[in-house]
Amino acid sequence: MPARAYLDHAASSPIRPQVAEQMAQDLSEGLGGWANPSSQHASGRRVAGLLAQARARIARALGVDAHEVVLTSGGTEASALVIAGRARAVPGGRLVVSPIEHPAVLDSARAAAEQLGAGLSLLEVDGAGRVVLGSVAAALAPSGRGPAAPVSLVSVMAANNETGVVQDMAAVVDQVRRTTGIERPGRPGYVPVHCDAVAALGKAPVDFHGWGLDAMSLSGHKLGAPVGVGALVVRRDVDLRPVTGGGGQERGIRSGTQDVVGARALALAVELAVAEREEQGTRLAVLRHRLLEGARALPGAHATLPDGTAHVASTAHLWFEGADSEALLMALDLAGIDASAGSACHAGVHGPSHVLLAMGFEEGPARSTLRCSLGPTTSTDDVERLLTALPAALEGARRAWGVTHKAAGARS
């Protein structure tokens, strides 16, 4: 049976061989499997030292301080911690987020609004999915009667996990600072800015301090580490209230015995992803161009991002006229190709992409998408295999669309 063409690295990327080798060695030696890094005996202190080394390696690769790295179970938990933590720290405050955020941010913000009484303001994006800076100013200085609720957090992702569009994070942060007039943390009225960098790290430049961020999320399994490890980079002066009880092992923000093997795996994956970013970006840009060029040669096939839009080289996003994305994915699956319609984090729920709807697409095109995401293992053969299978798969998807919409029309 021929190997499958895996074009879903944005959902999860295979564990890197170097990381797997390190984990196997760590586990065979018992690291993290028998000693608790919070224990005071010799074995605990040894493991605690390895944990500190892993944290320092992550920090060095990201250009941050080790005390700013809070280890988590992944990017979703990291984003949820900062959203809920700020909502608890500023009761009645407003969360300001972009409408194209990952569910880890959007759903957490909506939950904070429903359960914690936080306000929620959505920014505007243009037709390419880039945040409109004027909407940032409007959200931070809303017009109307009476005093405005304080803004507890602004959250904008560096690169979109569906389309791959890259935001100008430095400009977003600068707009926040100029609108509020407060640039120094700790002063009354200072507004922290969080960035979900899960889809950007290793694929686009990420500069925590250069951008002026206060918090940033990342996830290991997008970088070649195992599922279940990630980090929240957060400045010490950002007030985050914990959402659960426990031992407060991670700066009092997150509780639970730390996964030392996972932390070491994350450290190695981050180091490799950052070191290889430019080389991989150049290679994947060629594959992305070929994929989009070949797909757009088909009738009614369109690239989602306009030409010239800043993007990560690892994501090629398309939409098709009159095509059922579920049928398209099923046909590609049967042809041995793994791809997706968008985020894999909606637990299999199919519907129009909230990202495309926010960009101004109508519901039909927003339901007719294909995301092909590339990674270190992606080859030219993988792309050509997709392009060979796509015409027949698209034909079937259009037949399915016709049947579905004919039935819908009959019911109406």
Residues assigned a catalytic role: 345
Alpha-carbon distance 285 to 378, whole Å? Answer: 12
Looking at the chain, how many residues does it have?
Answer: 412
Buried b or exposed e, range 61-87, using 16+ CB within 10 angstroms: bbebbeebbbbbbbbbbbbbbbbbbbb
Which one, of 332, 396, 369, lies nearest residue 5 by Cα? 332
Q: What are phi and psi of 147, to 5 degrees?
A: -70, 140
Listed in sequence order, the residues at least 6 apart from 305 whose beta carbon sits closer than 8 Å to its beta carbon are: 128, 129, 163, 164, 165, 311, 317
Q: Beta strands of 263-314 (E only): which ranges?
A: 301-303
| Tokens 């969360």, residue located | 95
Residue 242 half-sphere exposure, CB side, CA atoms within 13 Å?
Answer: 15
Query: Distance between CA atoms of 106 and 104, rounded to whole angstroms?
Result: 6
What distance in Å separates the CA atoms of residue 92 and residue 86, rounded to the nearest whole number?
10
Do 365 and 307 contact (CB within 8 A), yes or no?
Answer: no
C-alpha dihedral, 269 to 274 to 280 to 282, nearest 10°:
170
Query: 307 burial class (0-12, 13-18, 19+ CB within 10 angstroms)?
Result: exposed
